[in-house]
Amino acid sequence: MRRTPFLFALCMLALANRSQAADLAPVPPPSIVAPVPDTELRITPFFWASGIRGDVRTRAFLPTVSVDVPFKDILQNLDFAAMLAGEYRSGRWGVLADLAYVAVSVEAQRNFIARAPGFSSAEVKSRTLNATVTGFFRFYENSGFSADILAGGRVWSASTDVDLAIAGVVSLSGGTERTWVDPVAGLRLRANLGNGFGLSAYGDIGAGSSRLTWQLRGTIDYSFNENWSVSVGYRHLAVDYRSGSYVFDTALSGPIMGVSYRF
């Protein structure tokens, strides 16, 4: 009978030592989960239904021609067009780029007015490339709004041929190609309206090779899912470049629509 309390005490002592040993066992450190990088790559083919208005002069012996060609005339006489935009962002820093190339041949009396007497008609063949590349920094962001400041450059490459008829009998022709680059700075704003809808606004301005270049763009955006989205809005892009007798003082404006894929 005396052995029972003794055995019970031994069992309790063994259990206490085992519990103390378990308490003293090293605890493994908590696993560290690497944060998911906040990166985004977006490609956007777009369609810009742009008309063109302004003044063009290619040679010293030709007068300046005032151009006013609506989009429907450009579309009817379009030779080729390509338009693409892209964006890469990592955290608050990123890069924006967009490119538009349009080749068109228009022959009309009402679309072109030579600033000299005696000229009755004109034909203009134009191949124009403009590309804007900017870096940006997102200086403000919350759940429903973001604001980016941008700085970069815009390159223009314009090849223009002008044929002018004098009294419908004699024809004068002249063409030239010019390429120039302007530094630009701007701002981009985005607002989330909920249910997949949003608003975007973009503007930049610059000068350098040209006297002035600037653009404004506003769109209504809709996201179908995390990858696909569509935007519809309006864009205006202007440049005033002069070098010697050459003049390219034009503005392109019209509705714009793009479809974006986010990788």
Q: What is the pLDDT of residue 31?
A: 54
Instruction: Rank 18-32, 76-90, 165-179, 223-237 by mean pLDDT and report only the highest.
Output: 223-237
Neighbour-count burial of 89, counting CB atoms closer than 10 A to its CB (0-12 exposed, 13-18 middle, 19+ buried): middle
Can you read off the two tokens belonging to residue 76? 């009817």
**Category of 161 on φ-ψ map: left (φ > 0), alpha (ψ -120 to 50) or beta:** beta
**Listed range (28-37, 116-125, 228-237) with the worst mean pLDDT:** 28-37
Which residue ranges make up each domain of the chain?
37-262
pTM: 0.82
Beta pairing, strands 228-243 & 39-48 = unpaired
- Report the alpha-carbon distance of residue 155 to residue 147 in Å, rounded: 25
Q: What is the CATH number of domain 37-262?
A: 2.40.128.90
The 10s digit of each residue's pLDDT in 228-261 is 999 999 999 999 999 999 999 999 999 999 999 9
Under 8 Å between Cβ of 114 and 164: yes
- Report the alpha-carbon distance of residue 217 to residue 237 in Å, rounded: 9
Indicate if the pLDDT at residue 181 is higher than 90: yes
Under 8 Å between Cβ of 37 and 222: no
The 10s digit of each residue's pLDDT in 37-68 is 589 999 999 999 999 999 999 888 888 888 88
